[in-house]
Amino acid sequence: MKKTLYSGAAILALAAGSAQAQELIFPVGEGDFAWDSYNAFADEYDLSGQTLTISGPWIGDDRDLVDTVFAYFEEATGATVEYAGSDAFESEIRRASQTGGLPNMAVIPQPGLLADLAAAGDVAPLTDEDAAWIEENYAAGQSWVDLATSENEQAGGEALNGFFYKVDVKSLVWYSPPVFEELGYEVPETMEELLALSEQAVEDGFAPWCIGLGSGDATGWPATDWVEDIMLRTQSLDTYDAWVSNELPFDSEEVVNAIETFGEFALNEDFTGMSGAEIVNTDFRDSPDGVFEIPPQCLMHRQASFIPTFFPEDAEYDFFYFPAFESEDLGSPVLGAGTVWAITDENEASRAMIEFLKTPVAHEVWMSQSGFLTPHNGVNTELYANDTLRGMGEILLNATSFRFDASDLMPSEIGAGAFWTGMVEYLRTGDAQAEAASIQSAWDAIK
Amino acid sequence: MFDSTIVSGILTIIIGVGGMLAYFWLSNLVLDKVIFPPKGKNIGRNINRANAVRPWLFTFPAIFALGLYLVVPVFYSIWLSVTSGVAQDGWYRNYEQIFLNQTFRVSLLNNLLWVLVVPAASTFFGLIAAQLTDRLSWGNIAKSLIFMPMAISFVGASLIWSFVYHPDMDIGVINAIRGLFGAEDGVTLIDGQVIDSFLLMVVLIWIQTGFAMVILSAALRGVPEDTVEAAIIDGANPFQVFFRIKVPQIRGTIMVVWTTITILVLKVYDIVAAMGNQYRNLEILPTQMMQYFDAGNYGFATAISVVIMILVLPVMFWNIRQARAEMR
């Protein structure tokens, strides 16, 4: 009798869990979505009663958005997706890797972390067909395959460890068009013009730049993007690659110069209206708010393509490409990053999810809402929610020189540790040479 | 409605408690009926032996769990610290590298400051609070107020104090007070100067004073009245009664409180992680350890954990000895 009571309660509990499945945000068959790909996928898989656990860095709005994508996967396969997001995802997945409890899949924002997990035997390798599919269907496909390929303990050698989905373009400057219009400012085409515009803003009584480095455990990372973008604008691609692999030491003149160029923006109180310590204490999610206040606290914000997710609701915004120095003659490089999906505890549903991510619909559902870019060249770019996203999507699809976020490629001890701390300390002390040397010594220590 | 976590929680409790009851019942049954049955020609010896074994039966689950979750990890950590990461080139290399690291030395110094300041301040304030609240009619209310921070998690307390220190004059209490005296702009109180460590220590002192107060208050009540009366008759003033008569008699308790807080301070991590962000100058050993752990460098992380353990051990032995002496 008791037994039946408990199992009854357990079944009820399970049923209550799966009843949460969301409704589909775009009805299947309506609009210019690639529904054929979705229907073909739905016909192929029946995973009723199975559960797919996923953990990743998406929280807040991004979490709601990814849930709308999962709804299609659940509808198509009958499986239940349990997603857990965390802003300390990197630490948590490492802990899970050491102590057990890995989810079926992990959405990893740093290829270095993916490589660590794969080397530790926690990642099931993807197949050669997956690699061929990415090369064929992603813009600059080979580079996405290369970025996710490294030593995999389970494969016993080099293997493709992950699938990129949701990519960010980082070399962007956000502003408020009405404010620019009011002040009679033109979008700058070169770095020289951008600096002149900043000076002009100071003269007109505005702080031109909003910068915030606060990000909980990850405080400091927004500054690394600045330094990387500046590296691409002052050095050749080869030098950039040498920096990533530490063939070019961190405290070499080229890197120190890039840090100091960042300092010309961030350590200039006229430019930011804040002390270095205040910049460190400002959360990066709140830092662009000043652009949209009336009167504006600041005029421009350099940040990746995901940032409009955190803009105030009714913000009128546009972006321009963080320009290159006319005097340097290095073309127009683009810095970017992305999240990569890995199978960390294989089951049938996780393989199905990789197949699902190949369908254009899995990309189109998110891109037609907000904050999502994809190098998938099979999607209908008309579906981007607005011109801003479409413009960035085109930058991505047409990238001539594209480089991945350097800190995400460095060993995580540097790229997600010493580099962050070094930048925080640089804003405090203003001593680029000393901080670069300290980052280099941290790198030497792990060699 | 049913929630699967509640159901599984209830099931866990039923299985856990039932399992324990079954363990004690069965193991005693086996002991009494099979191994040392209280009958036959050895009845007296068997009863004595069964009684000698019985305490071990009761403590075995605790000893086993403690061994599994405490002792094994300690040895595993030591093992990792001499084999993992750069230690592959020599067992001492992880230790060598962390001691060469500037940030590690800063952490060590900061930890020393924490250990010197926090237990002393908490014990001192706790002692004063215990004595002062003893005589007040509303002493129990005052005591509850001082004790309340004990109920707040370290991260919660850090958040509260982040608001106290907030640079915005509309949020930060300290800056608001400065504003009352005519200050125009808020100052950033925590900006990575070494001195900021003291601002973080305040949080822990705020939490631990209540703990010290409760223990010391009980001890003060245990001071024999006749010694106090004798002192008063001899003409001692209240200060002399407190510092010369009462405090020496509760010295043992003060030491236990002091060392208990010292051990806690050596383990504190949350406050610096929540408030010190990434400032190198505010690092302490546990935050350093966690950073290496998060970066996947288990060699350095375990080396630091071993250093922390070595620092805690003497304090712990002393604490246990004092506590035992107290109990006698």
pTM, rounded to two decimals: 0.76
Are A378 and A308 found together in one domain? no
- Cα B232 to Cα A283, B29, B236, distances in angstroms: 60, 62, 5
Give the Cα separation of A95 and B128 in Å (integer): 43
B3 and A CB contact within 8 Å: yes
Residue A84: list chain B partners with CB under 8 A.
none
Confidence of residue B40 (pLDDT cuts 50, 70, 90): confident
| A313 vs A228: which has the higher pLDDT | A228
What is the CATH number for A128?
Answer: 3.40.190.10
Which of A336-345, A360-369, B182-191, B306-315 is the least confident region?
A: B182-191
Share of chain A above pLDDT 70, in %: 94
Domain ranges of chain B: 5-82, 97-327
Could you give the CA distance from residue B168 to residue A281 in angstroms, rounded to a whole number?
A: 11
For residue B50, the model assigns a pLDDT of 87
User: H-type helices in A184-296, by residue range?
Assistant: 191-203, 221-234, 237-244, 253-266, 269-272, 276-281
**CB < 8 Å to B191, chain A:** 275-277, 280-281, 428
Q: How confident is the model at residue A2 (pLDDT cuts 50, 70, 90)?
A: very low
- Give yes or no for a contact between A367 and A297, defined as CB atoms under 8 angstroms apart: no
Q: Do A425 and B192 touch (CB under 8 A)?
A: yes
Chain A residues within 8 Å of chain B (Cβ atoms): 6, 9-10, 12-14, 16-17, 90-91, 94-95, 98, 113, 116, 214, 216-217, 219-220, 275-278, 280-281, 411-413, 416-417, 420-421, 424-425, 428, 438, 441-442, 445-447
Are the C-beta atoms of B275 and B203 separated by less than 8 Å?
yes
Q: Is residue A269 domain-shared with residue A366, that is, in the same domain?
A: no
Query: Are the beta carbons of B100 and A445 separated by less than 8 Å?
Result: yes
Instruction: Measure in Å the smallest separation between the Cα of A270 and chain B Cα atoms.
Output: 16
Tell me how far the alpha carbon of residue A7 is from its chain's centroid.
43
Residue A7 has pLDDT above 80, yes or no: no
Question: Hey, are the CB atoms on A17 and B273 less than 8 Å from each other?
Answer: no
What is the number of CB-based contacts under 8 A between chain A and chain B? 97
What's the mean pLDDT in B202-220? 95
Q: Is the CB of residue B97 less than 8 Å away from at least one CB of chain A?
A: yes
Are residues A200 and A90 located together in one domain of the fold?
A: no
Whether residue A438 is found in the same domain as residue A302: yes
Please check whether residues A18 and A58 belong to one and the same domain: yes
Helices (H), A282-346: none
- What is the arithmetic mean of pLDDT over A58-82? 93
Architecture of domain B97-327: Orthogonal Bundle (1.10)
Helix axes A348-358, A360-367, angle to 10 degrees: 70
Chain A CB contacts of B273 below 8 Å: 217
Considering only alpha carbons, which residue of chain A is nearest residue B10?
A: A6
Q: Do A16 and B291 touch (CB under 8 A)?
A: no
Given this model, what pLDDT does residue B2 score? 52
Q: Which residue in A286, A421, A423, A429 has the most chain B C-beta atoms within 10 A of its own C-beta, making it the best mutation to test that interface? A: A421
d(CA B266, CA B202): 15
- Pair A131, A228 in one domain: no
On the question of pLDDT at B120 being above 90, the answer is: yes
| Test the B interface: residue of A428, A429, A431, A440 with most B CBs within 10 Å | A428
Neighbour count for residue B33 (Cβ, 10 Å): 11
In a domain, A271, yes or no: yes
**pLDDT, tens only, A170-195:** 999 999 999 999 999 999 989 999 99
Contact A159, A130 (CB under 8 A): no
Nearest to B277 among A280, A411, A412 (CB): A280
User: Mean pLDDT, to the nearest integer, of B76-104?
Assistant: 90
Has residue A166 got a pLDDT over 70? yes
Is residue A220 a contact partner of residue A266, using CB atoms and an 8 Å limit?
no
**A67 and A30 fall within a common domain:** yes
Search chain A and give the residue with CA nearest B301: A413
pLDDT above 50 for A17: no
How would you classify the pairing of strands A334-343 and A163-169? antiparallel
Integer CA distances (angstroms), A381 to A307, A384, A391, B200, in order: 20, 6, 10, 51
Split at pLDDT 50, 70, 90, the class of A393 is confident
> Is B277 an interface residue toward A (CB < 8 Å)?
yes
Q: For the residues of B28-93, what is the DSSP string, one character each?
A: HHIIIIIIS-S-STTHHHHHHHHHHHHHHHHHHHHHHHHIIIIIHHHHHHHHHHHHSGGGGG-TTH
Chain A residue numbers with beta carbons less than 8 Å from the beta carbon of B199 are none
The answer to the question of residue A135 being in a domain is: yes
- Residue A308 contacts residue A302 (beta carbons within 8 Å): no
Reduced to 3 states (helix: H, G, I; strand: E, B; else coil), residue A431 is: coil
Nearest to B278 among A12, A275, A424 (CB): A424
Kind and range of the H or E element at A338?
strand A334-343
Taking residues A299-319, report their average pLDDT: 90
pLDDT band at B3 (very low <50, low <70, confident <90, very high): low
Q: Which residues contact A143 (CB under 8 A, 6 or more apart)?
A: A402, A404
For residue B300, which residues of chain A lie inside 8 Å, CB to CB? Answer: 445
Confidence of residue B277 (pLDDT cuts 50, 70, 90): low
Residues 223-262 of B with CB under 8 A from A: none
Q: What is the DSSP letter of A23?
A: P
Task: Compute the Cα dihedral for B200, B205, B211, B212 and give only its sign.
Answer: positive
Same domain, A264 and A146: no
Mean of the per-residue pLDDT values for chain A?
89
Print the domain residue range for A192. Answer: 172-334+406-446
Q: Are residues A140 and A18 in the same domain?
A: yes
Cα distance between residue A244 and residue A224, in whole Å: 12
For residues A164-189, one letter each, b for 16 or more C-beta atoms within 10 angstroms of the residue's C-beta and e for the rest, the string is bbbbbbbbbbbbbeebbeeeebebbe
Rounded Cα distance between A107 and B60, Å, is 43
pLDDT at A10 over 70: no
Q: Using the beta-carbon criterion (under 8 Å), do A16 and B295 form an inter-chain contact?
A: no
Collapsed DSSP state (helix, strand, coil) of residue B154 = helix
> B77's torsion region: left (phi>0), alpha (psi -120 to 50) or beta?
alpha
Which pLDDT score, from 0 to 100, does residue A129 have? Answer: 95
pLDDT bucket at A237, cuts 50 / 70 / 90: confident
Distance separating alpha carbons of residues A243 and A227, to the nearest angstrom:
12
> How far does B90 lie from chain A, in Å, by closest CA?
14
pLDDT at site A400: 65
The reply to whether A398 falls in a domain is yes
- Which whole number is the average pLDDT over A390-409? 82
CA distances from A222 to A16, A389, A423 (A): 41, 21, 9
- Which of B4, B86, B273 is opposite residue A14, by nearest beta carbon? B4
Model confidence pLDDT, tens digit, residues A183-235:
999 999 899 999 999 999 999 999 999 999 988 778 899 999 999 999 999 99
Q: What is the mean pLDDT of residues A162-173?
A: 92
3-state DSSP assignment of residue A389: helix
Closest residue of chain B to A277, computed from CA coordinates: B191
Q: How far is CA A144 from CA A123, A165, A314, B42, B197, in A?
A: 17, 10, 35, 79, 44
Residue A1 lies in a domain: no
Question: Do residues A351 and A320 share a domain?
Answer: no
Give pLDDT, residue B326: 74
Q: How many domains does chain A have?
A: 2
Q: Are residues A92 and A191 in the same domain?
A: no
Top-ranked range on mean pLDDT: pick from A364-368, B186-190, B291-295, B312-316:
A364-368
Could you report the predicted ipTM of this complex, rounded to two decimals? Answer: 0.71
pLDDT, one tens digit per residue, over B279-310 is 888 999 999 898 888 777 889 999 999 999 99
Predicted pLDDT of residue B145: 93
The answer to whether A57 and A216 are in contact (CB under 8 A) is no
> Mind giving me the DSSP string for A105-139?
EEEES-HHHHHHHHHTT-SBPPPHHHHHHHHHHBT
CA A440 – CA B309 distance, rounded (Å): 29
- Give the residue from chain B lying closest to A429, CA to CA: B192
Q: What was the pLDDT predicted at B44?
A: 85
Q: Is B189 on the interface with A (CB under 8 A)?
A: no
| A4: pLDDT strictly greater than 80 | no
Of the candidates B4, B103, B293, the beta carbon closest to that of A13 is on: B4
Per-residue pLDDT, averaged over A102-121, amounts to 92
Same domain, A330 and A364: no
pLDDT in tens, B159-191: 999 899 988 888 889 999 999 998 888 788 888
Say whether residue B89 is in contact with chain A using an 8 A CB cutoff. Answer: no
Joined together, the tokens standing for residue B184 give 């125009």
